[in-house]
């Protein structure tokens, strides 16, 4: 696929011991049992809504793609204009890279030189294919619903969107020759938020070490997948770091002792007042907020000034792809020479010298580019 589509992969992992359940607070100093707002269960609706939006956007993308009108061969032609590009062009059962660009994929050249900064957000609602969409949506449902139940739609919605933006930003700084799509940056932000929430609310957990190591293993495995070619691991890393910092800011819980005081009977006088948060929670909150604001601001300014982060970190490209004897990390755009003679179109790939002849009248430049992509891959 040219420019090569960075496919954002994920693992749909879920761990039942990572988060404490919302429990009613009961204390000798109050009559009866009442649910405290700091630990109540929320009804999850925003995360499922985000999933529906992603699915709808993918359907619209396939409608716009209209493979039968723009490609010689398509997969599942019975779907008509919703049919998929040839597997050689897109093995994920999805649209062409040109269609993704048209729909708002992250294209650094357009962000910098055409002032289309909105692509840093729109790209997270697009997906490269059916397999890509299913993997991300299952992960978001399993992890996101659990978090939304515990912390509400406002905090988790912000965590999702800001993490997706952070992933897009880091991707744009390092992968400037490729386009990128997918909600994996936001998904890794949810994973990062789970980890920081566990750390900042450490004293509230039983089996905390088991939960911590299980979550770390899940995150490491998912990040390790990112060293494969055509996987945008910088979006994964950027989303994870953003979500990790946001977790210290958004997902902090007050101490049980403070909650007991707040909801105790009027005639209850504690011998020693409990602070709402522990000192280490406050320190992590302040440091994370500062690092997050500075990091996103500096990164955005650097991107808009056309900075290529690879010039300042010669080894960082290995974080997204490690070359082996089985695959190469080198990718380049497809360029072709085309010659139209009557209704006969000859297309020759400049990179590999392959040539094909097609019979069509007055093909559009978009269709020629798609044919070029097919023969160059």
Q: Which is the catalytic residue, given 19, 127, 132, 236?
A: 236
Cβ atoms of residues 102 and 181 within 8 Å: no
* Per-residue buried b or exposed e for 21-54, using 16+ beta carbons within 10 Å of the residue's own CB: eeeebebeeeeeeeebebbeebebebbeebbeeb
The strand pairing partners of 7, in sequence order, are 181
Q: Which residue has the tokens 């097919």?
A: 374
DSSP 241-282: HHHHHHHHHHS----HHHHHHHTS-TT---SSPPPSS-HHHH
**CA–CA separation, 280 and 348 (whole Å):** 63
Question: Can you give the length of the chain in residues?
Answer: 377
Q: DSSP E strands: which ranges in the chain?
A: 5-7, 106-107, 179-181, 336-341, 344-349, 355-359
Q: Which is the catalytic residue, given 163, 184, 196, 288?
A: 184
Residue 5, judged by CB atoms within 10 A of its CB (0-12, 13-18, 19+), counts as: buried
Q: What are phi and psi of 355, to 5 degrees?
A: -135, 145
What are the distances in angstroms from CA 315 to CA 174, 198, 257, 311, 319? 11, 31, 48, 10, 8
3-state SS assignment for residue 121? helix
**CA–CA separation, 277 and 253 (whole Å):** 7
Q: What are phi and psi of 351, to 5 degrees?
A: -80, -40
**CA–CA separation, 79 and 66 (whole Å):** 10
Q: Are strands 179-181 and 5-7 parallel, antiparallel or unpaired?
A: parallel
184 catalytic? Reply is yes
Nearest to 100 by CA among 61, 129, 42: 61
What are the residue numbers of the active site?
184, 236
């Amino acid at each position: 696929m040219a420019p090569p589509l960075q496919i954002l992969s994920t693992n749909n992992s879920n761990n039942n011991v990572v988060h404490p359940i919302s429990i009613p607070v009961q204390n000798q100093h109050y009559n009866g049992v009442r649910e405290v707002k700091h630990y109540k269960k929320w009804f999850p609706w925003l995360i499922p809504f985000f999933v529906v939006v992603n699915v709808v956007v993918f359907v619209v993308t396939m409608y716009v793609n209209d493979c039968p009108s723009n490609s010689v061969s398509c997969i599942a032609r019975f779907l008509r204009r919703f049919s998929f590009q040839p597997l050689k062009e897109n093995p994920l059962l999805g649209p062409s890279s040109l269609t993704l660009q048209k729909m708002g994929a992250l294209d650094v050249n357009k962000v910098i030189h055409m002032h289309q900064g909105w692509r840093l957000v729109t790209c997270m609602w697009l997906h490269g294919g059916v397999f890509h969409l299913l993997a991300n949506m299952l992960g978001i449902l399993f992890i996101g619903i659990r978090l939304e139940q515990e912390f509400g739609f406002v905090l988790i919605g912000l965590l999702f969107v800001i993490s997706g933006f952070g992933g897009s930003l880091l991707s744009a700084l390092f992968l400037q020759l490729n386009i990128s799509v997918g909600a994996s940056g936001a998904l890794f932000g949810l994973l990062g938020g789970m980890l920081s929430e566990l750390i900042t609310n450490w004293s509230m957990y039983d089996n905390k070490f088991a939960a911590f190591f299980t979550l770390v293993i899940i995150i490491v495995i998912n990040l390790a997948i990112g060293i494969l070619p055509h996987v945008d691991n910088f979006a994964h890393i950027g989303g994870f770091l953003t979500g990790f910092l946001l977790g210290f800011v958004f997902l902090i819980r007050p101490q049980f002792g403070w909650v007991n005081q707040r909801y105790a009977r009027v005639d209850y006088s504690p011998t020693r007042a409990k602070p709402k948060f522990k000192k280490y929670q406050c320190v992590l909150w302040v440091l994370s907020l500062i690092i997050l604001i500075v990091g996103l601001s500096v990164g955005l300014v650097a991107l808009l000034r056309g900075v290529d982060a690879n010039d300042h970190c010669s080894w960082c490209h290995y974080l997204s792809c490690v070359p082996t004897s089985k695959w190469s990390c080198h990718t380049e755009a497809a360029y072709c020479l085309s010659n139209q003679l009557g209704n006969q179109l000859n297309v020759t790939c400049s990179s590999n010298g392959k040539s094909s002849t097609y019979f069509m009248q007055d093909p559009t430049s978009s269709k020629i580019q798609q044919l070029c992509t097919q023969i160059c891959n």
